Amino acid sequence: MRRISIFGATGSIGQSTIDLIRRDRAAYDVVALTGGGNIDLLAKDAIELGADVAVTAYEDRLDDLKAALSGSGVQAAAGAQALLEAADREADWIMSAIVGSAGLAPGLHALRHGTTLALANKESLVTAGPLLMRTAQGHGARVLPVDSEHSAVFQGLVGEDQSEVERVIITASGGPFRDWSLERLEGATLAQACKHPSWDMGQRITIDSASMFNKALEIIETKEYFGFDPDQIEVLVHPGSYVHALVGFRDGALMAHMGAPDMRHAIGYALHWPERRDLPVARLDLAKVGLLRFEAPDETRFVPLRLAREVMETGGLAGAVFNAAKEAALDHFIAGKIGFLDMARLVEQVLNQMSVDVRLDAGSLSLDNVLAADKEARARVAALQPALKK
Ligand code: NAD
Ligand code: MG
């Protein structure tokens, strides 16, 4: 039996992971499940899967969780420290699917025990890529990509010599605002940003897809995970989301990874790697799809794509600042305090303000300086936000 834990079990990726586990219950021994405020769901899944412990990120919800788990034999725990303790529990495979930079520390803890980390939490690589990869290497642990584009590239590299790769192309659906003008984007509402044309995901990543911040994070994620040069990484808008990524080789060949837009593919690939197993995902009927459409991305309308290039150029703590400023700006947009395009404005201003402080060589990144940069960037967004008030 494989011992597994799921961080962010109550979210979109967490629930898709549980769906796969549920189909093959006898193969897994569930160690820890973690969630946030959705206590009922967390407790229900922890009891059903017979987890050793269930952890809510919110300290003030401990009593609720205890009550929901009472008599089940599943332990209850709460708070940031409890999350780290859960990550320290022995496991063979951990799904990292907390949203935001809160996912970084538990992932680092798990890697220190040599545990395989299935990484949906792209923010870990954006904020602290060199630290995460170095920690994995130092402890003989593996990080397996779960983001669909990165899983696609990873699969495209199987059996290949990475030095023969010329470029990688990650696709972007373009989100609901793909063909909107800048004037229209200015007035985009929360409800409109929450409607993704092809993927069903958590609210935050759905809005990040509409703003292209998600693709900006993924460009950086590609650089940090695979070690490609920024100028080898391209983005291609592909509204259907059938092609997840393409790997281009020195002889001009392009290997595309295709499939239905269903995260259970990438999750299942990471769960069964290095094997392939049956997965309950729809099979693509390409005759029905008919045409595949591609477009160049527009960096004037989608500023985050340009910012991602600047972040990679600066290096050091720029990724931590970029991600945290984005998370804070997104909070303000969700709260209705700023407009849709103000998110990129705030992030760019904070990056400019902090451009000198973030310079640091990759080897000096630590959890402490990453978290300090994260905190500082959020404080700067809070200070700048009133000037952009709607
Ligand atoms: P979600 O919002 O649906 O779920 C997030 C999970 O994290 C929940 O369990 C929530 O309780 C928990 N959480 C939230 N804040 C927390 C905190 N401060 N501390 C601890 N736990 C916290 O998010 P999601 O869409 O499942 O995405 C999870 C991660 O996977 C993100 O990093 C996202 O970018 C990445 N990802 C998601 C998809 C997708 O299809 N949903 C695809 C690719 C990558
Ligand atoms: Mg993705």
For the chain, the domain total comes to: 3
Q: Is 300 exposed, middle or buried (0-12, 13-18, 19+ CB in 10 A)?
A: exposed
* Calpha distance 42→239 (Å, rounded): 34
**Residue 361 CB contacts under 8 Å (≥ 6 apart), including other chains:** 315, 316
Confidence of residue 252 (pLDDT cuts 50, 70, 90): very high
- Pairing state of beta strands 254-258 and 53-56? unpaired
35 lines ligand 1 (CB under 6 A): yes
- For residue 211, is it within any domain? yes
Counting Cα atoms < 13 Å in the Cβ hemisphere of 105 gives: 16
249 lines ligand 1 (CB under 6 A): no
- For residue 98, is it within any domain? yes
Q: Flag whether pLDDT at 102 surpasses 90.
A: yes
- For residue 277, is it within any domain? no
How high is the ipTM of this complex? 0.99
- For residue 282, is it within any domain? no
What pLDDT score does 390 carry? Answer: 80
* Calpha distance 155→169 (Å, rounded): 13
Supply the angle between the helices 318-334 and 213-226 in degrees, to the nearest 10: 150
Confidence of residue 43 (pLDDT cuts 50, 70, 90): very high
Range of the domain at 217: 148-259+289-299
Q: Which of 240, 390, 224, 236 is nearest to 320 (CA)?
A: 224
102 lines ligand 1 (CB under 6 A): yes
Confidence of residue 266 (pLDDT cuts 50, 70, 90): very high
Q: Which of 308, 341, 327, 330 is nearest to 375 (CA)?
A: 327
How many other CB atoms are found less than 10 A from the CB of residue 320? 29
Indicate which ligand has the atom closest to the C-alpha of 7. 1
**290-341: per-residue pLDDT in tens?**
999 999 999 999 999 999 999 999 999 999 999 999 999 999 999 999 999 9
CATH number of the structural domain spanning residue 109: 3.40.50.720
201 lines ligand 1 (CB under 6 A): yes
- Pairing state of beta strands 93-96 and 254-258? unpaired
Residue 163, annotated ligand binder?
A: no
User: What mean pLDDT comes out for the span 377-385?
Assistant: 97
Mutate to test the pocket of ligand 1, among 20, 150, 205, 269 (most ligand atoms within 8 A of CB): 205
- For ligand 2, the distance from its centroid to the CA atom of residue 388, given in whole angstroms, is 29
Name the closest-CA residue to atom 36, ligand 1. Answer: 120
Residues 73 and 10 in one domain: yes
Q: Which atom of ligand 1 is nearest to the CA of 203?
A: 2
How many other CB atoms are found less than 10 A from the CB of residue 384? 21
Q: Flag whether pLDDT at 116 surpasses 90.
A: yes
What pLDDT score does 114 carry? Answer: 97
- For residue 28, is it within any domain? yes
Residues 350 and 386 in one domain: yes
- For residue 269, is it within any domain? no
10 lines ligand 1 (CB under 6 A): yes
**Residue 63 CB contacts under 8 Å (≥ 6 apart), including other chains:** none
Residues 173 and 253 in one domain: yes
199 lines ligand 1 (CB under 6 A): yes
Q: Is 279 helix (H, G, I), strand (E, B) or coil?
A: coil
Residues 99 and 207 in one domain: no
Mutate to test the pocket of ligand 1, among 6, 7, 13 (most ligand atoms within 8 A of CB): 13
Contact 321, 350 (CB under 8 A): yes
- For residue 238, is it within any domain? yes
Confidence of residue 389 (pLDDT cuts 50, 70, 90): confident
12 lines ligand 1 (CB under 6 A): yes
Residues 47 and 155 in one domain: no
What pLDDT score does 362 carry? Answer: 86
149 lines ligand 1 (CB under 6 A): no
What pLDDT score does 356 carry? Answer: 79
Mean pLDDT, the chain, whole residue set: 97
Confidence of residue 237 (pLDDT cuts 50, 70, 90): very high
Q: Flag whether pLDDT at 152 surpasses 90.
A: yes
Residues 61 and 120 in one domain: yes
Residue 107, annotated ligand binder?
A: no
- For ligand 2, the distance from its centroid to the CA atom of residue 218, given in whole angstroms, is 7
8 lines ligand 1 (CB under 6 A): yes
Residue 209, annotated ligand binder?
A: yes
User: What mean pLDDT comes out for the span 112-132?
Assistant: 98
Domain final residue pick, 79, 112, 145: 145
Residues 72 and 157 in one domain: no
Residues 48 and 98 in one domain: yes
- For residue 279, is it within any domain? no
Q: In whole angstroms, how far apart are CA 167 and each of 51, 227, 257, 281, 374?
A: 43, 12, 14, 28, 31
Residues 389 and 253 in one domain: no
**191-234: per-residue pLDDT in tens?**
999 999 888 999 999 999 999 999 999 999 999 999 999 999 99
Residues with CB under 5 A from ligand 2 (ion): 147-149
Domain final residue pick, 117, 145, 173: 145
- For ligand 1, the distance from its centroid to the CA atom of residue 10, given in whole angstroms, is 8
**Gyration radius of the chain over CA positions:** 20
Residues 251 and 324 in one domain: no
Residues 158 and 234 in one domain: yes
Domain final residue pick, 93, 111, 145: 145
pTM of the model: 0.98
**338-359: per-residue pLDDT in tens?**
999 999 999 999 999 998 788 8
Q: Is 47 exposed, middle or buried (0-12, 13-18, 19+ CB in 10 A)?
A: middle
Residues 141 and 162 in one domain: no
